[in-house]
Amino acid sequence: METFAEEFQDAVRDVVDAVIPGVEAIGAAIIVAGVLITAVMYVLSELRIRPVAYEHVRLTLGRFLALGIEFQLASDILTTAVSPDFEDIGMLGAIVAIRTVLNYFLAQEIERAEQMEKEGMLTAPDTMPKPRARGAPTG
């Protein structure tokens, strides 16, 4: 017969196991949304329909990636929290290290791009060349 503590632990494990796929899905959805939004932003900029600086496009994608990675990391932590064994803990350590390093460099890129934006070093959308009308003279 299970004690109250064991029953409670099993219930918590069941709840966490049910939550993990949702957290993973949120992280993946954030990354996919970021890729789609950034791809549209880039294409519109290249077509000069809605021009933005390249660094602004990278900054936008970086923000989505950083947030998505945080959700993925949370999912990994939850997975290890409910059924820790040495193999899981070692794998979590490796995943945390890789994602932390990736997140660190993403944060550095975001910070650098934000600083460039503040200092006016990035080309503002209204200063980019406008598309020429068809048949317009060149020169």
pTM score over 0.85: no
Mind listing the pLDDT tens digit for each residue in 115-131?
A: 877 887 765 555 545 55
pLDDT of residue 118: 80
Mean pLDDT over 69-78 rounds to: 88
Nearest to 102 by CA among 47, 56, 62, 71: 62
Phi and psi torsions of 133, nearest 5°: -70, 150
Mind listing the pLDDT tens digit for each residue in 32-67?
A: 999 999 999 999 999 989 888 888 888 889 889 989
Mean pLDDT over 74-92 rounds to: 81
Residue carrying the six token digits 């080309």: 123
The pLDDT-based confidence of 29 (bands split at 50, 70, 90) is: very high
pLDDT of residue 23: 95
